[in-house]
Amino acid sequence: MTAAVETAHPVGTPPRTDAAVRTTGLTKRFRSGQVAVDDLGLLVPRGSVMGFLGPNGSGKTTTIRMLLGLVTPTSGQVELLGEPIPQASARVLPRVGALVEGPAFHPYLSGRANLVRLDAADLTVDRRTSTARIDAALDRVGLGAAATKRFRTYSLGMKQRLGLASALLRPRELFVLDEPTNGLDPQGTREVRTLVRELAAEGCTVLVSSHLLAEIEQICDRVTVMRAGRVVAAGTLQELALLARPSVVVETPDLDRAVAVLRRLGASSATPDDDRLRVRAELPDVAVEDVTRALVRADVAVRGIGRSGRSLEELFVDLTGEGFDVVG
Partner 1 sequence: MSSADTLVRPPVTRRAPSTRLLRSELRLLFGRRRNQILLVVLALVPVLVGVAIRVSTGDAEPGEGPPFLDRVSGNGLFLAFTGLATVLPFFLPLTVGVVSGDAVAGEAQAGTLRYLLTVPVARARVLAVKYGALVAFALAASFLVAAVGLVVGWALFPTGDVTLLSGTTVSPGAAVWRTALVALYVAASLAGLAALGLAVSTFTEVPVGAMATTVVLAITSQILDAIPQLSWLHPWLFTHQWLAFADLLRDPVPTGAIVDGLVLQAGWIAVALAIAWSRFTTRDITS
> For binding to partner 1 (CB under 8 A), which residues are involved?
1-2, 4-5, 8-13, 30, 65, 68-72, 89-91, 93-94, 96, 98, 100-102, 104-109, 116-118, 120-127, 166
In the complex, least distance from residue 12 CB atom to partner 1, rounded to whole angstroms: 4
In the complex, least distance from residue 81 CB atom to partner 1, rounded to whole angstroms: 13
User: What is the DSSP secondary structure assignment for residue 110, as one 8-state letter?
Assistant: B
Give 134 or 213: the residue with its C-beta nearer to partner 1. Answer: 134
Give 100 or 206: the residue with its C-beta nearer to partner 1. Answer: 100
Instruction: Report phi then psi at 85, rounded to 5.
Output: -110, 135
Are residues 248 and 262 in contact, defined by beta-carbon separation less than 8 angstroms? yes
In the complex, least distance from residue 106 CB atom to partner 1, rounded to whole angstroms: 6
In the complex, least distance from residue 39 CB atom to partner 1, rounded to whole angstroms: 19
In the complex, least distance from residue 294 CB atom to partner 1, rounded to whole angstroms: 56
Residue spans of alpha helices (H) in 149-278 = 156-167, 186-201, 213-219, 237-243, 255-265
Sign of the CA dihedral with 57 first, then 58, 61, and 62 last: positive
Instruction: Report phi then psi at 31, rounded to 5.
Output: -60, -25
Give 129 or 194: the residue with its C-beta nearer to partner 1. Answer: 129
Residue 69 to residues 80, 118, 208: CA-CA distances in angstroms?
10, 17, 18
Closest CA to 92 of 20, 142, 38: 20
Give 119 or 217: the residue with its C-beta nearer to partner 1. Answer: 119
Are residues 281 and 247 in contact, defined by beta-carbon separation less than 8 angstroms? yes
Give 78 or 96: the residue with its C-beta nearer to partner 1. Answer: 96
User: What is the DSSP secondary structure assignment for residue 232, as one 8-state letter?
Assistant: E
Amino acid at 288: V
- CB within 8 Å of 172: residues ≥ 6 apart: 95, 96, 97, 204
In the complex, least distance from residue 249 CB atom to partner 1, rounded to whole angstroms: 49
Torsion of CA 29, 35, 40, 44, to 10 degrees: -90
The secondary element (H helix, E strand) that includes residue 109 is none
In the complex, least distance from residue 322 CB atom to partner 1, rounded to whole angstroms: 27
Instruction: Report phi then psi at 213, rounded to 5.
Output: -65, -40
Give 119 or 191: the residue with its C-beta nearer to partner 1. Answer: 119
Give 65 or 278: the residue with its C-beta nearer to partner 1. Answer: 65
Give 61 or 252: the residue with its C-beta nearer to partner 1. Answer: 61
Give 176 or 248: the residue with its C-beta nearer to partner 1. Answer: 176
- CA 257 vs. chain centroid, Å, equals 44
Q: How many C-beta neighbours within 10 Å does residue 198 have? A: 11
In the complex, least distance from residue 246 CB atom to partner 1, rounded to whole angstroms: 41
In the complex, least distance from residue 98 CB atom to partner 1, rounded to whole angstroms: 5
